[in-house]
Structure 1
Amino acid sequence: MPVFITDKHLKASTTRKTYSDNKQLGFALRTTPNGVFTFYYQHLNKKTGKRDWDVIGTYPTWTPERARSEATRLAGLVESDKDIRQLRQQKVARNRAEGVTFQQLHDEYIDYCKQPVERRWGKVPRKETWRNIGYAFKRPLEWWSKRVANEITANDTMELYESFTDEGHPAQANNVRGQLHTMFNWALDSKRKYVTVNPCPKLLEDDKAVERADIEDGRVLTADELRTFWFGLDDPNSPGDRLSKLALKLSLVTLLRTGECVCVERTRVTPSAVTIPLRVAKGRRSKKARDVVQPLNSLAREILGEVFSIGDPDRQYAFPGTGNRKDKHMTQHTLGRMLARTSMDKTGQTGICEYLGLVDVTPHDLRRTGACVLEQLGYSDGVIGKVMTHKSADKDAAPVTREHYLVPVPIIARPVDPRIKALDDLDDALREILGLPLGSTKELPAPPRLLTAA
């Protein structure tokens, strides 16, 4: 039944639906379960005697009002005996002769991302993750390299998106779509105008693929898993080189991000602390960002002592790269691959998790585990956040600390009541002020013996 097509019809349903407009004859809207809304103009082809469906465009690039106006224009062409399909083919041919291909757009955008620019932390590529961006475009290049960028539609990008989700890779689907959205916005800029519309509109949060929604946010190692992991890294037969394994241990005992650990420089290590320069620190884009100075506990000092006993002790980086990266530091991805790879992968190499019988442990889970241990020792969210270098506007606890790191998984046998720690600290402070010896026992002295009547 014909209806007046408006925004209220732009709703995803469990089945495909087609709406015909009761104001402009031939104007139609088709909806799909995955949320793609396509406007069409349908008319009787006088040459073939069949009904033609001409695509106008997709929402939100085309609104119902704009699409209805285009349908009216097409209806005028049909009344003038114009062949819509032939006119469009001629336009496509002109665009192909004059337009930029997706491959050309990709190459120019990657060159733009790689251009060195001055930042507060030094001269770096405009987008320091340009290698990751290039990797995200691997499949789009395979699909669209020779296509004119301006011909790629929202249907094309949704088909690409669903190819990842169908393979069980929702996080990769969201990442690729986000990178494409950014690149097409760049191509829309007035300096370039390689495309007229962005064929990769942002998805609503409810429409995005969800990665493993049945698993709570954050993996935390239990006490048994922690022992298996720690001593398993010392096993000479476990996969990976010794320095990579020590980098994982260092992240656990310092709560530094693995991306910060692999960048540790020899000249920035002292017996009491290690300094992570601003160019490495995650919060460097903040106007008030400073170098991260992280205190070293005894385990961290032991680990770094062993690190510099391996190889050249005067090298620049504690964890140097290999191959063509010998003059640089190890990459953060090296640690993730070393944990996650399995003998069933293309390389057939066993990873640490598979070797030790641990399930789905990532380098960042070590940082999360350390944070949970601190909470169970009685420390507040604010203190834990400071140790993890989480920033907050009011210098109190950053929400990210509680939301993404403090998982209710018991690790230590008996969590510490924060009042006990506070009173113990008060005890130590008073003894220091009064010059009393430090307490050596937590046991009560024997109670006095009661005198009994003779």
Structure 2
Amino acid sequence: MPVFITDDHLKTPAKGTKTYSDGGPKGQKGFVLRATANGAFSLYYQYLNKKKLHPKTKKPVRDWELIGTVKDGWTIARARAEAARLAALIALGKDIRQIAAQQLADQRAMGVTFRQVHDEYIAYCSQLVDRKWGRVPRKETWPNIQSALKRPLEWWGDKVASEITPRDVKELYDSIVAEGYPAQANNVRGQLGTLFIWAMHEERQYVSKSPVVKQLEDDKVAEKADLEEGRVLDIEELRRFWFGLNDPDCPGSRLSKLALKLSLVTLLRTGECVKIERELVGPKTVTIPLKNVKSRKAKKARPVVQPLNSLAQEILGEAFSIGDAKRDYAFPGTRKRRAAPMSQQSLGALLRRTTDDANGHMGVCEYLCLEDVTPHDLRRTGATILSELGYTDAEIGRVMTHKAADDDAAPVTRERYIVSRRVLTMRPVIDRRVDMLNHLDLVLREELGLPAAAALPAPQQLLSAA
């Protein structure tokens, strides 16, 4: 029976649990005290939740909302007043559980700085987890994420994360754009959006909403790649690039320049070329293991087995003739990274750096008087040549290892790689993927004036002979 709950009811029962419902003229309907044998006293508000119906009777179920415990400083009088407040909210049709969750999130967010959120997020991204290609960081690009968040950390490090506003994000974004780096600005904004969504998760609740809101179309800053159809090298530029890389005075190590050539003749990504392992180079193909394949997160992802035309065999043969022929990678790093492959980013930096930069080192493009050539432009040039030779988007997409649900090419093949600009004169069309790369080999030799393919042993045989 209901009783008017007082401090006299704060007695530990000999066993089990005792429950008291508040009653009497001064009591509050729904206010409940529970006392347990282990000395715990919990204070609840009990009510009919009209938004939650019993699956059989279809009537509102009785819900319990914890107000607090005596151990945490709640008194009977204070808890009864809180129960009265909750009853008033229920009478107004409010969802008290949602309100309580929001209050908890706000309280938790108070005092949590952006630096704390950032550090915990980076630790989360870099934590090792099991994948089907091995044990790797949860986000393998976490160093790039950390780099992208460097400026936000400098701006907002000690600021409470929940106090960061959309205006703050806009000011940060505009500051990067004003320096002439729209692609970097878009990347930073995207990484911030992911971080704040992570911080909103119910396990953390460091913020209740994200300050990274959807941009208006007029506020978006187009990247350079969005303003152009795509950079491809014409045949004169190809000649200058190919033979310029052979110049001993051209910036960069011989292995770095060979990796760039290999991307052109195989259409592999430079990130895949630099990670080619010695044991996976066969007589006519090279296997890129799943751990190095860009599309490995797809459910049906498989290692890439790419045919090697004669130019590719020559390049790999020369690569393994430099340094230790028994090393793990065709293109190893330098100094402390000798046991690891060279970084993909180093190839991009090698092409674009100029003597006007802070370090003052000349890059390949400046040395060869080529404008804005990127490693990906080499794939784009190869794809465009194959298109001019009459191959279909689907055939080109397969040789570029673009995943598609059917025999048609993935949309990215036509949208980003096949450019409607002439590189070569048209040639007779032949078929099949191996023939495609051999055809590319033949045309490059003819256009670049290279000698005909010699009967070469496979790279593996070259290694064993060494």
Same fold flag (TM > 0.5): yes
Contact 1:244-1:335 at 8 Å conserved across structures: yes
In 1: Cα distance, 2:175 partner to 2:191 partner: 16
Aligned ranges 1:262-301 → 2 under 5 Å: 262-301=274-313
What amino acid sits opposite 2:126 in the alignment?
K
In 2: Cα distance, 1:214 partner to 1:191 partner: 38
Deviations 1:147-182 (A, max 9, x none): 111111111111101111112211111110110010
1:205 Cα deviation from its structure 2 partner: 4.9
In 2: Cα distance, 1:204 partner to 1:189 partner: 26
Question: Which of these residues, 118, 139, 151, is aligned with residue 127 of structure 1?
Answer: 139
Identity %: 64
- Counterpart secondary structure, 2:311: helix
Other-structure match for 2:325: 313
Contact 1:378-1:421 at 8 Å conserved across structures: no
In 2: Cα distance, 1:163 partner to 1:284 partner: 35
Question: Which of these residues, 248, 253, 256, is aligned with residue 265 of structure 2?
Answer: 253
Q: 1:421 to 1:291 in 2, by over 3 A?
A: closer
1:217 Cα deviation from its structure 2 partner: 2.7
1:322 Cα deviation from its structure 2 partner: 1.6
Structure 1 gaps of 5+ residues are 1-93, 426-454
Structure-1-length-normalised TM-score: 0.70
Deviations 1:393-423 (A, max 9, x none): 12222221111111122111x21354x879x
In the alignment, structure 1 residue 415 sits paired with structure 2 residue 417 = no
What amino acid sits opposite 2:426 in the alignment?
P
1:244 Cα deviation from its structure 2 partner: 0.3
In 2: Cα distance, 1:248 partner to 1:97 partner: 48
What amino acid sits opposite 1:133 in the alignment?
I
Q: 1:148 to 1:407 in 2, by over 3 A?
A: same
Q: 1:95 to 1:144 in 2, by over 3 A?
A: farther
Other-structure match for 1:116: 128
Contact 2:290-2:296 at 8 Å conserved across structures: yes
Deviations 1:417-442 (A, max 9, x none): 54x879xx9xxxxxxxxxxxxxxxxx
Other-structure match for 1:44: none
Q: 1:149 to 1:379 in 2, by over 3 A?
A: same
Other-structure match for 1:156: 168
- Counterpart secondary structure, 2:136: strand
Aligned ranges 1:86-125 → 2 under 5 Å: 98-125=110-137
Question: Which of these residues, 217, 228, 235, is aligned with residue 223 of structure 1?
Answer: 235
Question: Which of these residues, 389, 396, 407, is aligned with residue 377 of structure 1?
Answer: 389
Other-structure match for 1:179: 191
Contact 2:127-2:137 at 8 Å conserved across structures: yes
Segment drifting more, 157-166 vs 196-205: 196-205
Contact 2:274-2:344 at 8 Å conserved across structures: yes
- Counterpart secondary structure, 1:197: coil
Q: 1:98 to 1:398 in 2, by over 3 A?
A: closer
1:207 Cα deviation from its structure 2 partner: 3.3
In the alignment, structure 1 residue 212 sits paired with structure 2 residue 227 = no
Other-structure match for 1:359: 371
Query: How many residues are aligned here?
Result: 329
Q: 1:213 to 1:367 in 2, by over 3 A?
A: closer
What amino acid sits opposite 2:176 in the alignment?
F
1:195 Cα deviation from its structure 2 partner: 1.1
In 2: Cα distance, 1:158 partner to 1:283 partner: 32
In 2: Cα distance, 1:96 partner to 1:187 partner: 11
Structure 2 gaps of 5+ residues are 1-105, 436-466
Other-structure match for 2:155: 143
Contact 2:108-2:205 at 8 Å conserved across structures: no
- Counterpart secondary structure, 1:279: helix
Q: 1:378 to 1:213 in 2, by over 3 A?
A: closer
1:297 Cα deviation from its structure 2 partner: 0.3
Contact 2:275-2:341 at 8 Å conserved across structures: yes
In 1: Cα distance, 2:356 partner to 2:278 partner: 38
What amino acid sits opposite 1:359 in the alignment?
E
In 1: Cα distance, 2:317 partner to 2:226 partner: 42
1:214 Cα deviation from its structure 2 partner: 7.7
What amino acid sits opposite 2:335 in the alignment?
G
In the alignment, structure 1 residue 401 sits paired with structure 2 residue 413 = yes
Between the two structures, name the one with larger relative contact order (CA 8 Å, sep ≥ 6). Answer: 2
Other-structure match for 2:398: 386
In 1: Cα distance, 2:338 partner to 2:190 partner: 33
Structure having the higher Rg: 2
- Counterpart secondary structure, 2:130: strand
1:269 Cα deviation from its structure 2 partner: 0.2
In 2: Cα distance, 1:147 partner to 1:123 partner: 35
Other-structure match for 1:440: none
- Counterpart secondary structure, 1:294: strand
- Counterpart secondary structure, 1:308: helix
Other-structure match for 1:235: 247
In 2: Cα distance, 1:374 partner to 1:401 partner: 12
Q: 1:96 to 1:387 in 2, by over 3 A?
A: closer
Structure-2-length-normalised TM-score: 0.68
In 1: Cα distance, 2:226 partner to 2:158 partner: 40
Aligned ranges 1:196-207 → 2 under 5 Å: 196-205=208-217, 207=219
In the alignment, structure 1 residue 340 sits paired with structure 2 residue 352 = yes
1:378 Cα deviation from its structure 2 partner: 1.6
Deviations 1:222-262 (A, max 9, x none): 00000000000000000000000000000000000000000
In 2: Cα distance, 1:143 partner to 1:151 partner: 13
What amino acid sits opposite 2:205 in the alignment?
K
In 1: Cα distance, 2:226 partner to 2:209 partner: 37
Contact 1:96-1:148 at 8 Å conserved across structures: no
1:325 Cα deviation from its structure 2 partner: 1.6
Q: 1:317 to 1:110 in 2, by over 3 A?
A: same
